C-alpha cells in the first residue's frame, strides 16, 4: 500500500473537504482518503498497481480543486503580508472561480446602474443573465461534478438550483445577486481560512533557505604537489566560508552563524557564545545565553556573538519542522464538538432540502400560489428557493475548525504544542493535575544548598574555612562526571575563586564517593555510609548528618588527612516558576494537585512544601504512578499528567491529557505526550488552560450564532418575509462572523 500526501488548493469550506474525501475515496484502488481542511492537506492510501498517482490528481482537478507543489510553498508568502480588504482584493484574482465572481459582481453593479437610469428592460435582463452566467458557471460546474462523481447534492448545486429557479420566476436581478453574493461569500471564507493557515506558513518562513558553511578547500590547485598533496581536502588552506542550500547540509558539518542571523539548522555550539532569541520554538520572551556545547534550534535568532555550530540533524528533521508537522496534524484531529457539528450538518442539509421540496409542492396543491403574485406576494416556489439558500450549513461547518486552528496556532507561538482539537477540548475540562517531581517541578539537576566546616562557629554564614573546604572538594571532583561532582564544581566556580591546586591519584569509590591527593593532602568526599565504615567520627556529627538528610538533602562528607572536616549538602531545586504556576492553577479552579515521585518521603515533602502541591505520593515505581493517575481519574474524571516524557510514559498515556516537559529531549517530548511545554516553563500551564477554555467558549458561541441565524431566517422564509438576497447575505454574514470570532484566538498571548 502506498501513502500519498498532497497540499490542496481551492478549498473554501469544510464541505469541500468532504467532497474531496468521497470523490477520491471512490476511485478503484484507493484504500482511504482523508482531508484536513484546516491545513489544506490530503492523505491518500492506495494500491499503486490499481490506480496511478496521476489519476488521483486528475480526480481532484475534476472536482474543481488543484494540487500545489510542496517545494513552492514559499510562493504563498505574499498573501500573508496584507490583511483586510487590501489582502482580499488580490486574493480574488488568484483563482479562476473567484475572478469570475468578481467579474459577475461588476456586471450586477452595471445592471443596477442600468435600472437606475431606466435603460430598456431587455438590456437590463441581458446584463443580469450575463452576470449570472459568469459568476454562476464555476458554481454550477462544481455542483454537477459532485453530483456526477460523488452521487450527492452539495452546497454549490443547491445554490445553482436556487439561482436558476429565480430566473424561471422572473427574478433575474435577484438570481444574479444571490449567485454573486454566494461566490463572494465562499471566497471570503477561503480567504479568512487562508489567513488562519498563515500561522503555519510563518513558521515555515522562519528558516532561511541558505547557510554559511565552513568547508575545507577541495582539490586546491594552488597547493597540488606540495609535500605530497595530490587532492581532496587541502591541508594548507584550512576552511572557507561557502553559502549553500540548507537542505544540502549534512550531519556533522560546521555552520557559521553571524550576529543577527537566523539559525538555519539544529546544531551544537563548537565555538563562541551568544544570546539567542528562542521565541519561535519555546515561546520565551527573553533571549537565552548559549555557551559551548549547548544546542541551538533552526528558526531562532542569533544575538550579538558569532557562533560556529556542528549540524545535529538534517533540515527535514529539525525541531522546527517537527513542530510544523505536529501542528498541521493537530489541526486534523477533530474535537468532540467538531465531530458533533459534522454529524449534525450531514443530517441537517438533506432534511432542509426535503422540506424545501415539500414547501414548493404541497401548499399549491391546496390552492396556495406557486408563482409570485403581481402585488409582490412571494409564491411557495420562491419561499422554497429561499429555504434552499438558508439550508447551506457553511457557518455551522466552519465554526469549529477555524477556532481550533487559531487556538492551536496561538499556543504553538507561545511555546505550547497541543497535538489536536480533542486535547485542546480535554485541557478545558481538566480538574486535577498530577506532577512528576524530578525535571518537572524541579530542575532535575542537583545544586549545592549548604556548606559546613565543623570548625565553623557561625553556620549559615560562609566563612573562610567553609570556602576552603568547598574549593578542596571541587579540586578532586573536577575529575568526575557525576552530577553531584558537577554541582560541587559549579558552586566553587560561582564563588569566583580558582583553586590552583595540584591534584593527583584521583580514584572513584564506586557509588560512595571519590578521593585523591591535593597538594599532598589525602582528601575524601563521600557518603555518610562511607564515612561510617572508613572514617570514624563523633555521634554529634552522625546526628547532624541524619538531620541534613531528613530535610531531603544529599550530604557528602569531606575529610582532610583522615580528619573529618565537614559536609557539603546538595539537592534538586524546585523550578522558580513552580509555586506561582500551581497557585495560578488553583485560581483557575483546579481542584487537586498531586506530586508523584520515586524519591524518598523526606525529599518529596521538602519539594512539595516549597512549591505548594496539595498531596505527595513518594517512592513510586512507574506502574504505581500509572495506578495513581487511574485513581485520580476515578475521583476527578478529567486529569492531566505532567512529566518528563520518557520514564513517565505509562502515566502520561493513562491521563486524559499527557503533558511533557521539553527537557526530556525535544523530539521525544513531542512524540510521547498530547501537549508539550517547549520552554520547560510550568507557567505555560495556566496559559494553556485559559486558552483551551476560551476556545471551547468561542466554539459554543459560534454554534449558537450559526443555528440561531438559521432559525430566524427559516421562520421569516415560510411566511414569505425573507428574500433570496437577504438569505444569502445572512448565510455569508454568519460564516464571516464565526470565522472572525474564531480567529480572535490567534492574537492570544501568555501575559
Residues 459-469 have a mean pLDDT of 77
The whole-number pLDDT of residue 455 equals: 83
Is 60 exceeded by the pLDDT of residue 728? yes
Of 24-28, 300-304, 341-345, 434-438, the one with minimum mean pLDDT is: 341-345
Strand partners, 442: 574
In this prediction, residues 519-532 reach a mean pLDDT of 88
Is it the case that residue 74 has pLDDT exceeding 50? Answer: no
Order across the sheet with 30-36: list the strands: 30-36, 41-46, 2-9, 66-68
Give the rounded distance of the alpha carbon of 145 from its chain centre.
Answer: 36
pLDDT bin (cut points 50, 70, 90) of residue 454 is confident
Alpha-carbon gap, residue 195 to 83, rounded angstroms: 8
Mean pLDDT across 531-538: 87
How confident is the model over 178-215, as pLDDT tens digits? Answer: 788 778 877 777 776 676 666 556 666 677 888 999 88
Kindly list the catalytic residues.
436
Stated as kind and residue range, the H or E segment containing 127 is helix 121-150
Average pLDDT over residues 643-655: 75
- 251 touches 301 (CB < 8 A): no
Position 342 pLDDT exceeds 70: no
Kind of pairing, strands 521-526 and 554-560?
antiparallel
Q: How does pLDDT run across 282-318, given as a tens digit for each residue?
A: 656 567 888 888 889 888 889 888 999 999 988 888 8
Cβ contacts of residue 240 below 8 Å, gap of 6+?
Answer: 214, 215, 216, 217
Residue 214, H or E segment: strand 210-216
Pick the range with the lowest mean pLDDT from 81-95, 123-137, 263-277, 446-460: 81-95
Instruction: Check if the beta carbon of residue 128 is closer than 8 Å to that of residue 173.
Output: yes
**Sheet with 675-677, side-by-side order of all strands:** 416-418, 675-677, 657-661, 639-643, 432-436, 592-596, 615-617
Specify the pLDDT at position 349: 67
Average pLDDT, the chain: 82
Angle at 191 between CA 189 and CA 195, to 5 degrees: 115
Residue corresponding to grid cell 472561480: 97
Q: Name the nearest CA neighbour of 665 among 682, 651, 654, 680.
A: 680
First to last CA, the chain: 48
CA distances from 641 to 81, 614, 625, 626 (A): 40, 15, 10, 10
* SS3 state at 291: coil
Pull the grid cell for residue 641.
499528567
Please report which confidence band the pLDDT of residue 341 belongs to, taking 50, 70 and 90 as the band edges. low
> Highest mean pLDDT: which of 210-224, 291-305, 340-354, 495-509?
291-305
Does the pLDDT value for residue 589 go beyond 90?
yes
Nine-digit cell string for 118:
431606466
Rg of the chain over Cα atoms, rounded to whole angstroms, equals 34
The pLDDT value recorded for residue 479 is 79
pLDDT at 72 over 50: no
- Predicted confidence (pLDDT) at residue 627 exceeds the cutoff of 70: yes
User: Quick check: 76 pLDDT over 50?
Assistant: no
More confident residue, 84 or 366: 366
Single pTM value for the model: 0.70
Residue 391: C-alpha distances to residues 139, 146, 360, 388, 731 (Å):
16, 18, 15, 5, 9
Model confidence over 650-688: pLDDT tens digits?
788 788 898 988 755 455 556 667 888 887 889 899 999
Instruction: Give the whole-angstrom CA distance, residue 365 versus residue 357.
Output: 13
pLDDT score at 650:
78
For residue 635, how many C-alpha atoms fall within 13 Å in the half-sphere facing its CB? 14
> Coil, strand or helix: which one is 270?
strand
Q: Do the strands 592-596 and 416-418 form a parallel or antiparallel pair, or are they unpaired?
A: unpaired
567-586 average pLDDT score: 90
CA distance 331 to 37: 8
Percent over 90 (pLDDT), the chain? 16
Q: According to the model, what pLDDT value does residue 255 have?
A: 93
pLDDT above 70 covers a percentage of the chain that reads: 87
615 contact partners, CB below 8 Å, separation of at least 6 = 592, 593, 594, 595
pLDDT at 494 > cutoff 90: no
Grid cell in block for residue 80: 500573508
Name the pLDDT band for 382 (thresholds 50, 70, 90): confident
Question: What number of other Cβ atoms are within 10 A of residue 175's Cβ?
Answer: 26
Chain centroid offset of residue 98 CA: 31
Q: Which domains does the chain have, with CATH numbers?
A: 2-68 (3.30.70.100), 85-201+332-393+722-731 (no CATH), 210-317 (2.70.150.10), 405-442+575-693 (3.40.50.1000), 443-573 (3.40.1110.10)
Helices 578-587 and 601-611, packing angle to 10 deg = 60
* Distance between CA atoms of residues 447 and 583, nearest Å: 25
Q: CB-side exposure of 232: number of CA atoms within 13 Å?
A: 4
Q: What pLDDT score does 532 carry?
A: 87
More confident residue, 486 or 397: 486
Cα dist from 133 to 104, 486, 634, whole Å: 8, 78, 62
Average pLDDT of the segment spanning 384-389 = 80
- DSSP string across 461-530: S--HHHHHHHHHHHHHHTT---HHHHHHHHHHHHTT------EEEEEEETTTEEEEEETTEEEEEE-HHH
Instruction: Report strand pairing: 592-596 vs 615-617.
Output: parallel
| Per-residue pLDDT band at 748 (split at 50, 70, 90) | confident
DSSP 445-465: EEEEEEEEETT-SSTTS--HH
CA neighbor of 535 nearest in space, from 503, 513, 520, 553: 513
The Cα–Cα gap between 646 and 81 comes to: 41
Give the pLDDT score at 338.
Answer: 57
183: Cβ–Cβ under 8 A, 6 or more apart, which residues?
A: 97, 98, 100, 101, 104, 135, 136, 138, 139
Written as nine digits, the cell of 516 is: 585523591
pLDDT at 79 over 60: no
Amino acid at each position: 500500500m502506498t501513502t500519498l500526501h498532497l497540499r490542496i488548493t481551492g478549498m473554501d469550506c469544510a464541505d469541500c473537504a468532504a467532497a474531496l474525501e468521497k470523490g477520491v475515496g471512490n476511485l478503484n484502488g484507493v484504500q482511504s482518503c482523508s482531508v484536513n481542511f484546516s491545513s489544506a492537506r490530503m492523505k491518500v492510501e492506495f494500491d499503486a498497481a490499481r490506480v496511478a498517482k496521476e489519476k488521483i490528481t486528475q480526480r481532484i482537478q475534476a472536482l474543481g480543486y488543484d494540487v500545489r507543489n510542496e517545494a513552492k510553498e514559499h510562493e504563498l508568502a505574499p498573501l500573508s503580508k496584507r490583511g483586510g480588504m487590501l489582502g482580499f482584493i488580490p486574493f480574488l484574482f488568484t483563482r479562476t472561480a473567484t475572478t469570475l465572481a468578481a467579474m459577475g459582481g461588476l456586471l450586477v453593479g452595471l445592471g443596477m446602474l442600468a435600472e437606475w437610469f431606466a435603460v430598456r428592460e431587455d438590456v437590463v435582463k441581458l446584463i443580469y443573465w450575463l452576470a449570472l452566467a459568469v459568476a454562476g458557471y464555476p458554481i454550477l460546474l462544481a455542483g454537477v461534478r459532485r453530483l456526477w462523481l460523488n452521487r450527492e447534492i452539495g452546497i454549490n448545486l443547491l445554490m445553482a438550483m436556487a439561482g436558476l429557479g429565480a430566473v424561471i420566476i422572473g427574478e433575474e436581478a435577484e438570481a444574479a445577486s444571490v449567485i454573486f453574493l454566494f461566490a463572494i461569500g465562499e471566497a471570503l471564507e477561503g480567504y479568512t481560512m487562508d489567513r488562519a493557515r498563515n500561522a503555519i506558513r510563518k513558521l515555515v518562513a522562519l528558516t532561511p533557505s541558505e547557510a554559511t558553511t565552513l568547508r575545507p578547500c577541495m582539490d586546491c590547485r594552488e597547493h597540488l604537489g606540495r609535500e605530497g598533496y595530490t587532492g581532496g581536502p587541502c591541508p594548507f588552506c584550512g576552511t572557507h566560508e561557502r553559502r549553500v542550500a540548507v537542505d544540502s547540509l549534512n550531519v556533522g558539518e560546521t555552520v557559521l552563524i553571524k550576529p543577527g542571523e537566523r539559525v538555519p539548522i539544529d546544531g551544537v555550539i563548537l565555538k563562541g557564545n551568544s544570546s539567542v532569541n528562542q521565541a519561535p520554538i519555546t515561546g520565551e520572551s527573553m533571549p537565552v545565553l548559549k555557551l559551548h556545547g549547548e544546542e541551538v534550534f533552526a528558526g531562532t535568532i542569533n544575538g550579538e556573538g558569532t557562533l560556529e555550530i556542528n549540524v545535529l540533524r538534517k533540515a527535514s528533521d529539525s525541531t522546527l519542522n517537527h513542530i510544523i508537522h505536529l501542528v498541521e496534524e493537530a489541526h486534523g484531529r477533530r474535537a468532540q464538538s467538531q465531530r458533533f457539528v459534522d454529524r449534525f450538518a450531514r443530517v441537517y442539509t438533506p432534511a432542509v432540502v426535503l422540506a424545501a421540496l415539500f414547501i414548493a409542492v404541497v401548499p399549491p396543491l391546496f390552492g396556495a400560489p406557486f408563482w409570485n403574485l403581481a402585488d409582490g406576494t412571494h409564491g411557495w416556489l420562491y419561499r422554497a428557493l429561499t429555504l434552499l439558500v438558508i439550508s447551506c450549513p457553511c457557518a455551522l461547518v466552519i465554526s469549529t475548525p477555524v477556532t481550533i486552528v487559531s487556538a492551536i496556532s496561538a499556543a504553538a507561538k507561545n511555546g505550547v504544542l497541543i497535538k489536536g482539537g480533542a486535547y485542546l477540548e480535554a485541557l478545558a475540562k481538566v480538574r486535577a493535575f498530577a506532577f512528576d517531581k524530578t525535571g518537572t517541578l524541579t530542575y532535575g539537576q542537583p545544586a549545592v544548598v549548604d556548606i559546613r566546616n565543623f570548625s565553623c562557629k557561625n553556620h549559615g554564614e560562609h566563612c573562610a574555612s567553609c570556602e576552603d573546604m568547598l574549593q578542596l572538594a571541587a579540586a578532586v571532583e573536577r575529575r568526575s562526571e557525576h552530577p553531584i561532582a558537577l554541582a560541587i564544581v559549579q558552586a566553587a566556580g560561582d564563588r569566583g575563586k580558582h583553586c590552583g591546586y595540584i591534584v593527583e591519584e584521583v580514584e572513584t569509590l564506586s557509588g560512595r564517593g571519590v578521593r585523591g591527593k591535593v597538594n599532598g593532602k589525602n582528601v575524601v568526599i563521600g557518603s555518610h555510609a562511607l564515612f561510617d565504615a572508613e572514617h570514624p567520627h563523633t555521634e554529634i556529627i552522625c546526628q547532624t548528618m541524619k538531620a541534613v538528610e531528613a530535610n531531603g538533602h544529599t550530604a557528602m562528607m569531606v575529610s582532610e588527612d583522615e580528619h573529618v572536616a565537614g559536609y557539603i549538602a546538595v539537592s534538586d531545586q524546585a523550578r522558580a516558576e513552580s509555586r506561582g504556576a500551581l497557585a495560578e492553577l488553583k485560581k483557575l479552579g483546579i481542584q487537586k494537585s498531586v506530586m508523584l515521585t520515586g524519591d524518598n518521603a523526606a525529599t518529596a515533602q521538602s519539594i512539595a512544601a516549597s512549591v505548594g502541591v496539595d498531596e505527595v505520593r513518594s517512592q513510586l515505581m512507574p506502574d504505581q504512578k500509572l495506578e495513581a493517575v487511574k485513581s485520580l481519574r476515578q475521583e476527578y474524571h478529567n486529569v492531566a499528567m505532567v512529566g518528563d516524557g520518557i520514564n513517565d510514559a505509562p502515566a502520561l498515556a493513562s491521563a486524559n491529557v499527557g503533558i511533557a516537559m521539553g527537557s526530556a529531549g525535544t523530539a521525544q517530548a513531542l512524540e510521547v505526550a498530547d501537549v508539550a511545554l517547549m520552554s520547560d516553563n510550568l507557567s505555560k500551564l495556566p496559559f494553556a488552560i485559559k486558552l483551551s477554555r476560551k476556545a471551547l467558549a468561542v466554539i459554543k458561541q459560534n454554534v449558537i450564532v450559526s443555528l440561531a441565524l438559521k432559525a430566524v431566517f427559516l421562520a421569516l422564509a415560510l411566511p414569505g418575509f425573507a428574500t433570496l438576497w437577504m438569505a444569502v447575505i445572512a448565510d455569508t454574514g454568519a460564516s464571516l462572523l464565526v470565522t472572525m470570532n474564531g480567529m480572535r484566538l490567534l492574537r492570544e498571548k501568555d501575559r
